């Protein structure tokens, strides 16, 4: 008589499940310093504060706190062309020291490209974005902008689902940024 294969299948299923959990734990651990806890530099003085899109209330509040602390006098805000966060609808854009513009394309690379119109090579610019986007923003602005940039994470509440999504999305978008470089691409799918 043949031996019952069920115990072997059960062991393999258990091993596969444990392996999958170990891989997920490893990916999560590797992503912690990249997406969850990126270095947060101290900023004392800059020529410009740049809020990259979307202009959430938290990013705007952080920009105002930096401006009030004397870091920079002027704030540039990347806004979509239409909708609630557009320059026409966002009341923050009405302040004298704030410039709201839509980059072309409305992507991180487009935002880096747009910076050339507002900061000269060597100018110090503080860039505000949400935490999981910091690593990719640093890479793109270091590669594509002439100004000296410091990317500061903005602490926006993200639930577990959004963190999982951002791990995958930011990794794929980073690979795309590395492959595509700074060449203009009007139809970017990943901002």
Q: Tell me which of 4 and 40 has the higher pLDDT.
A: 40
Per DSSP (E only), the strands in 27-176 are 48-51, 75-78, 98-101, 124-130, 148-154
> Residue 62 gets which letter from DSSP?
H
Residue 4 has pLDDT above 70, yes or no: no
Taking the CA of residue 157 as centre, how many other CA atoms within 13 Å lie in the half-sphere pointing to its CB? 2
Residue 185 has pLDDT above 70, yes or no: no
The string of pLDDT tens digits covering residues 143-173 is 999 999 999 999 998 998 998 899 889 999 9
Helix (H) or strand (E) holding 102: none
Indicate the pTM of the whole model.
0.83
Residues in contact with 42: Cβ distance below 8 Å, sequence separation at least 6, in sequence order: none
Domain 48-180 is of which CATH architecture?
3-Layer(aba) Sandwich (3.40)
* pLDDT band with cut points at 50, 70 and 90 for residue 7: low
Across the range 35-64, mean pLDDT stands at: 92
Residue 109 has pLDDT above 60, yes or no: yes
**For the packed helices 160-180 and 6-31, what is the interaxial angle rounded to 10 degrees?**
70
Q: Tell me which of 83 and 39 has the higher pLDDT.
A: 83
Amino acid 37: pLDDT: 77
Please answer whether residues 68 and 95 qualify as being in contact, where contact means their C-beta atoms are separated by less than 8 angstroms. Answer: no
């Amino acid at each position: 008589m043949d031996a019952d294969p069920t115990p072997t299948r059960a062991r393999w299923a258990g091993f596969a499940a444990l392996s999958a959990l170990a891989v997920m734990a490893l990916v999560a651990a590797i992503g912690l310093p990249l997406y969850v806890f990126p270095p947060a530099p101290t900023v004392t003085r800059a020529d410009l504060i740049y809020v990259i899109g979307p202009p959430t209330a938290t990013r705007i509040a952080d920009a105002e706190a930096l401006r009030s602390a004397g870091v920079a006098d002027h704030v540039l805000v990347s806004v979509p062309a239409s909708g609630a966060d557009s320059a026409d609808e966002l009341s923050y854009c009405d302040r004298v020291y704030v410039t709201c513009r839509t980059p072309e394309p409305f992507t991180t690379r487009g935002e880096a490209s747009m910076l050339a119109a507002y900061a000269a090579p060597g100018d110090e610019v503080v860039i505000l974005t949400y935490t999981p986007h910091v690593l990719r923003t640093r890479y793109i602005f270091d590669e594509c902008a002439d100004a000296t940039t410091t990317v500061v994470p903005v602490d926006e509440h993200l639930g577990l689902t959004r963190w999982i999504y951002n791990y995958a999305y930011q990794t794929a978008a980073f690979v795309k940024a590395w492959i595509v470089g700074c060449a203009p691409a009007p139809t970017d799918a990943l901002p």
